[in-house]
Amino acid sequence: MSPAVERLWRRLTAHGERIALSDGVRQWRYAELLHEVVARQAILHRCSARRLAIALDNGPDWLLWDLAALFAGVVCVPLPGFFSPAQQRHVLDSAGVDSLVAADPEAFTELGFVPGSDGLCQRPVAAAAALPVGTAKITYTSGTTGQPKGVCLSVDAMLAVAESLRQTLASRAIERHLCVLPLATLLENLAGNYTPLLLGARIELPSLAAVGLRGASQFELPVFLATLARLRPNSLILLPQLLLGLVTAAERGLPLPDSLRFIAVGGGRVAPQLLERAEALGLPVFEGYGLSECASVVCLNSPEQRRIGTVGQPLAHAEVRLADDGEVLVRGACMLGYLGEPPLADGWLGSGDLGHWEDGFLVLHGRKKHQFVTAFGRNVNPEWVEAELVQQLPIAQAWLYGEALAANVAVIVPRSGELADGDLQAAIDQVNAGLPDYARVHHWLRAAQPFSEANGLATANGRLRRAALLQHYQNAIDNLMAVQNI
């Protein structure tokens, strides 16, 4: 084992009789967790596993196999359940996966996997793709293209991030963390698993359905609130849309547990208005920023250093600076490289995000590649405007476009098909009142259907597929511009 892995083992051993895991039915103390990990580690060694894919629902088994691979020196490949079958096949084949643990082993027999008596499915792999030296995990990003991209991470990088988060959370006395996001998501895997383990906390690992997540983008708020009330966690990690549901519920008078001490939010731009609403309710919400290529979290607001409207300050392991064009550059705990590409040179990694500093706090503007230039030469980051639009109750989703146009056009998905155009216009007017003219929504269209993975207009985690949206709505935009004589 590497020194970093040995330190992790000693830390978990020291927690001894504390409760480490629970799925709502059974509990595992830290000593029992390590016993289970050793048993799975023996299976991996006995079967000569080299690259292990995990295709399980959230639960203790997911984490136990993940830790077994970590301690056994087997490359772990999380297989997101929200990926399409074609994307899952791409992950398994491109990563050269020879071993698999799956909730439904029969679903993978067509790919050559044969179930064994020990719970491991295996297949022969003639020539697996070469990996950068030190690769411990390959996490795939859904991105904005059809095929996910494999990010190769080392143990040292992942545990450095987990340790930085442990230091940041030390004052919060986190004793119980509830996993809400899929464990195949690197953010929950590292910040929601490894960091609580370093803290000696208890990790609540119910199924995704038990926390209200169904499929790629369905969220059942009543189920989530009931689970919060039952488990009373101290910490959560939420995406902006999940935070919006929590804040809206609290504003409507629905009870939330008083046990919450740290709610991290990330994975997309969070409108300052939403954070201010959370602040008014007394919710301990802290926005952060990261990317898979940097082993997840890079910056985070903390109880001691917090500024709404920013993504916080760099964590202890990370260095962050800005390029001449405002792109965020990161060094420290970066990936080894992309699967199938040359190893990453040791240096600054371009994030593709634009930002600026405010007294040591990082403020993001949006993706560099998403920025468009209007016919008047004004640069607009559409994510900024879109985040403001979806804070309006009538608007569920929004996409803003204005490349080389004299006026910006938004495609709006209403929260209900019953909403009149007047309601949507009023919501847009409210947002426009706080925007400079060049960034305002000058014209808009009602979307024919929500943006989803199923219709190819959004990724599984809700990020807009901008190229697909443009292709889908190009004619409608052209017709609107012609009618407006613009």
Cα angle vertex 284, ends 167, 221, to 5°?
Answer: 120
Residues of the chain with CATH 3.40.50.12780: 156-329+345-367
* Alpha-carbon 306 to chain mean position: 21
**CATH code reported for the domain at 3-153:** 3.40.50.980
Looking at the chain, which residues constitute the CATH 3.40.50.980 domain(s)? 3-153
> How many whole angstroms separate alpha carbon 119 and alpha carbon 362?
46
Contact 313, 361 (CB under 8 A): yes
Each residue's pLDDT, cut to its tens digit, for the chain (486 residues) gives 788 899 999 999 999 999 999 998 999 999 999 999 999 999 999 999 999 999 999 999 999 999 999 999 999 999 988 777 888 999 999 999 999 999 999 999 999 999 998 899 999 998 888 999 999 999 998 644 447 889 999 999 999 999 999 999 999 999 999 999 999 999 999 999 999 999 999 999 999 999 998 765 578 999 999 999 999 999 999 988 789 889 999 999 999 999 999 999 987 778 888 899 999 999 999 999 999 999 999 999 999 999 999 999 999 999 999 999 999 999 999 999 999 888 888 789 999 888 999 999 999 987 788 888 887 677 788 988 998 999 999 999 999 999 888 889 999 999 988 899 999 999 999 999 988 888 899 999 999 999 998 899 998 778 899 999 999 999 999 999 888 766
In CATH, the number for domain 156-329+345-367 is 3.40.50.12780
Q: What is the pLDDT of residues 370-407, one digit of tens each?
A: 888 887 677 788 988 998 999 999 999 999 999 888 88
**Parts of the chain belonging to CATH 3.30.300.30:** 371-483
Buried b or exposed e, range 167-192, using 16+ CB within 10 angstroms = ebbeebebbbbbbbbbbbbbbbbbbb
And the tokens for 21? Answer: 């895991």
CATH of 371-483, one of 2.40.50.140, 2.50.20.10, 3.20.20.450, 3.30.300.30: 3.30.300.30
The four Cα atoms 11, 14, 15, 21 give a dihedral, to 10 degrees, of 60
Q: How far apart are CA 372 and CA 328, in angstroms?
A: 18
